[in-house]
Structure 1
Amino acid sequence: MKLAGLRSVENAHDESIWAAAWVPATDSRPALLLTGSLDETVRLWRPDELAAVAPPSRGHALGVVAAAAHPSGALAAAASLDSSVRVFDVDSNASVTSLDAPPSEVWGLQFDPKGTVLAVAGGGSASVKLWDTSTWQLIATLAVPRPDRARPDRTGSGKFVLSVAWSPDGRRLACGSMDGTVAVFDVARAKFLHHLEGHHMPVRSLVFSPIDARVLFTACDDTHVHMYDAEGKSLVGAMSGHASWVLSVDASPDGAAIATGSSDRTVRLWDLSTRTAVQTMTNHTDQVWAVAFRPPGGTGVRAGRLASVSDDKSISLYDYS
């Protein structure tokens, strides 16, 4: 497996780019790359030439810190430091709804695999909020308990939720916190199951394996990437190699690799059969806030793609094979 640089776009936004997500292909168009920036905008990009699809989409009063796409490819959501989540139609850019939250309450979000629920990581509220995507009503608040013998984190409350991920079967939800713990929930019962431990610094990103609903990968400020059995509560492996905070992680659609982005300015590709970094990309000149593999599907799509975004305001696109 390897990455090959395809192209980079400098000054893709006016400020740091913190969010990236792929919008799945529809019958009328290919998959698109969605990026969100501290310049208060989101942008859509064509998947191969990285050409902007439309002018920047505005609607936030402060920087965009997270973005997610509905599995249908029709909708997307962006979360901002203005304490709101804007849900919009991808093709028309028309706003569908705005979900309000208290200050510092929205740091990560993701649609479930069926697209019926949007999960929002709740920051200082120490919770994950679940929104029904047909009515946009709040249907559950999953409280994240403090683990036994936990040390308080920087909020003083003991919990600050930064990241959220769905298992590929939609049965489990995991969220990463500032104190380094990962909480796992049974979504159908809205029940907390257990913590996954091993990190001791903020877990800013996490993702389940697309081919094994038990396997969870986490990216942490402690410079490590962990691989957990999310059902068995066990740490399967720890991968090291980054020189600084690991800010983002994503799993390849074939389940054979993960990619990570770090404040050491690099993107790394990891072979899961050996749990080692097999490639380091140095396209960026500042910390890499998000990496995202393009989902499979779409007419004429044969090659894999990985995108990365950075504080240097650039987007890089790689061929994954």
Structure 2
Amino acid sequence: MKLAGLKSVENAHDESIWAAAWVPATEARPALLLTGSLDETVRLWRPDELTPVAPPSKGHALGVVSVAAHPSGAVAASSSLDSFIRVFDIDSNASIATLEAPPSEVWSMQFDPKGTILAVAGGGSASVKLWDTSSWQLVCSLPVPRPEGARPDKTGSGKFVLSVAWSPDGKKLACGSMDGTIAVFDVARSKFLHHLDGHYMPVRSMVFSPVDPRVLFTACDDTHVHMYDAEGKSLVGAMSGHTSWVLSVDASLDGAAIATGSSDRTVKLWDLSMRTAVQTMTNHSDQVWSVAFRPPGGTGLRVGRLASVSDDKSISLYDYS
């Protein structure tokens, strides 16, 4: 397996780009890349040319820190430091809903595989918020308990929830916190199941394997990438190779590889059979905030694509084969 650099777009936004997600293809169009920036805008990009589909979309009063695409490919959401989530139509850019959360209560978010729930990492509320996508009403708030025997947290920072990930069957939800704890929930029962141990610094990104709903990958400021059995509560593997914070992780669709982005300015490709980094890409000149593999679908498109975005305001696109 390998990555090959295809295209980079410099100054894709006016400020740092912190978020990227692929919008699945529809019958009318191919998959699109969605990016969010501290310049308060989101942009849509054509999948191979990386040319903008439309002018930047405004709607936030502060920087955009997370974007998520509905599995239908018709709807997306962006969350901002202004504590609002904007839900909008991909093709018309019309606003569908505005979801409000108290200050610093919105960080990362993800639609469940069926598209019925939007899960939002609730920041300082120490919870994960679940929004119904038919009514855009808040239906549940899952409090994240502190681990047994955890040291007293006098600052409250440890409860800050940074990242969320759905299992591919939609039954489980994992979230990562500032103190390195990872909580796993049974969503149907709104029940906390257990913690996953091993990290002691902020867990900024996580993703389940697309081929095994038990396997969870996590990216942490401790420079490590962990591979967990999320059901058996066990750490399966710890992968090291970055020299600074690991800010983002995503899994390839074939389940054979993961990609990571780091504040060491690199993108790494990891072979999961060997549990080691097999390639390091140095396209970016500043920290890499997000990496995302493109979903299948659309005519005339190569399946294997990876995108990365950075504080250097650029987007890079790679061929994955």
TM over 0.5: yes
Q: Deviations over 1:62-89 (max 9, x none)?
A: 0000000000000000000000000000
Query: Is 1:156–2:156 an aligned residue pair?
Result: yes
Going from structure 1 to structure 2, the CA distance change for 1:189 and 1:103 (only over 3 Å counts) comes to: same
Q: Contact 2:105/2:122 (CA < 8 Å) preserved in 1?
A: yes
> Equivalents in 2 of 1:157, 1:312: separation in Å?
28
Identity %, equivalent residues: 86
Question: Could you say which residue in structure 2 is the equivalent of 1:166?
Answer: 166
Q: Contact 1:88/1:94 (CA < 8 Å) preserved in 2?
A: yes
Going from structure 1 to structure 2, the CA distance change for 1:318 and 1:155 (only over 3 Å counts) comes to: farther
Q: Deviations over 1:145-204 (max 9, x none)?
A: 000122355842641100000000000000000000100000000000000010000000
Q: Contact 2:258/2:272 (CA < 8 Å) preserved in 1?
A: yes
Going from structure 1 to structure 2, the CA distance change for 1:153 and 1:311 (only over 3 Å counts) comes to: farther
Structure 1 gap segments, 5+ residues each: none
Question: Could you say which residue in structure 2 is the equivalent of 1:280?
Answer: 280
For normalisation by structure 2, the TM-score amounts to: 0.99
Give the AA of the match of 1:139.
V
Q: Deviations over 1:28-82 (max 9, x none)?
A: 0000000000000000000001000000000000000000000000000000000
Q: How does 1:23-102 map to 2 (within 5 A)?
A: 23-102=23-102
Q: Contact 1:218/1:226 (CA < 8 Å) preserved in 2?
A: yes
Q: Tell me, what secondary structure is at the counterpart of 1:283? A: coil
Going from structure 1 to structure 2, the CA distance change for 1:310 and 1:153 (only over 3 Å counts) comes to: farther
> Equivalents in 2 of 1:154, 1:312: separation in Å?
35
Going from structure 1 to structure 2, the CA distance change for 1:63 and 1:211 (only over 3 Å counts) comes to: same
Going from structure 1 to structure 2, the CA distance change for 1:291 and 1:97 (only over 3 Å counts) comes to: same
The alpha-carbon deviation at position 299 of structure 1 amounts to: 1.8
The alpha-carbon deviation at position 278 of structure 1 amounts to: 0.3
The alpha-carbon deviation at position 302 of structure 1 amounts to: 3.0
> Equivalents in 2 of 1:96, 1:229: separation in Å?
37
> Equivalents in 2 of 1:170, 1:151: separation in Å?
32
Question: Could you say which residue in structure 2 is the equivalent of 1:217?
Answer: 217
Q: How does 1:169-248 map to 2 (within 5 A)?
A: 169-248=169-248
Question: Could you say which residue in structure 2 is the equivalent of 1:290?
Answer: 290
For normalisation by structure 1, the TM-score amounts to: 0.99
RMSD over aligned Cα atoms = 0.9
Question: Could you say which residue in structure 1 is the equivalent of 2:271?
Answer: 271
Query: Is 1:107–2:107 an aligned residue pair?
Result: yes
Structure 2 gap segments, 5+ residues each: none
Give the AA of the match of 2:116.
T
> Equivalents in 2 of 1:154, 1:215: separation in Å?
33
Give the AA of the match of 2:38.
L
Give the AA of the match of 1:234.
S
Question: Could you say which residue in structure 1 is the equivalent of 2:121?
Answer: 121
Q: Contact 2:21/2:33 (CA < 8 Å) preserved in 1?
A: yes
Question: Could you say which residue in structure 1 is the equivalent of 2:251?
Answer: 251
Q: Contact 1:75/1:88 (CA < 8 Å) preserved in 2?
A: yes
Q: Contact 1:121/1:128 (CA < 8 Å) preserved in 2?
A: yes
> Equivalents in 2 of 1:290, 1:155: separation in Å?
28
The alpha-carbon deviation at position 22 of structure 1 amounts to: 0.1
> Equivalents in 2 of 1:78, 1:118: separation in Å?
11
Q: Which has the larger displacement, 152-161 or 192-201?
A: 152-161
> Equivalents in 1 of 2:121, 2:213: separation in Å?
20
Q: Tell me, what secondary structure is at the counterpart of 1:180? A: coil
Q: Contact 2:157/2:178 (CA < 8 Å) preserved in 1?
A: no
> Equivalents in 2 of 1:39, 1:101: separation in Å?
21
> Equivalents in 1 of 2:202, 2:31: separation in Å?
31
Count of residues in correspondence between the two structures: 321
> Equivalents in 2 of 1:248, 1:63: separation in Å?
18
Q: How does 1:5-24 map to 2 (within 5 A)?
A: 5-24=5-24
Going from structure 1 to structure 2, the CA distance change for 1:2 and 1:157 (only over 3 Å counts) comes to: closer
> Equivalents in 1 of 2:5, 2:158: separation in Å?
41
Q: Deviations over 1:248-272 (max 9, x none)?
A: 0000011000000000000000000
Q: Tell me, what secondary structure is at the counterpart of 1:66? A: strand
Query: Is 1:3–2:16 an aligned residue pair?
Result: no
The alpha-carbon deviation at position 297 of structure 1 amounts to: 1.5
Going from structure 1 to structure 2, the CA distance change for 1:17 and 1:232 (only over 3 Å counts) comes to: same
Q: Contact 2:158/2:177 (CA < 8 Å) preserved in 1?
A: no
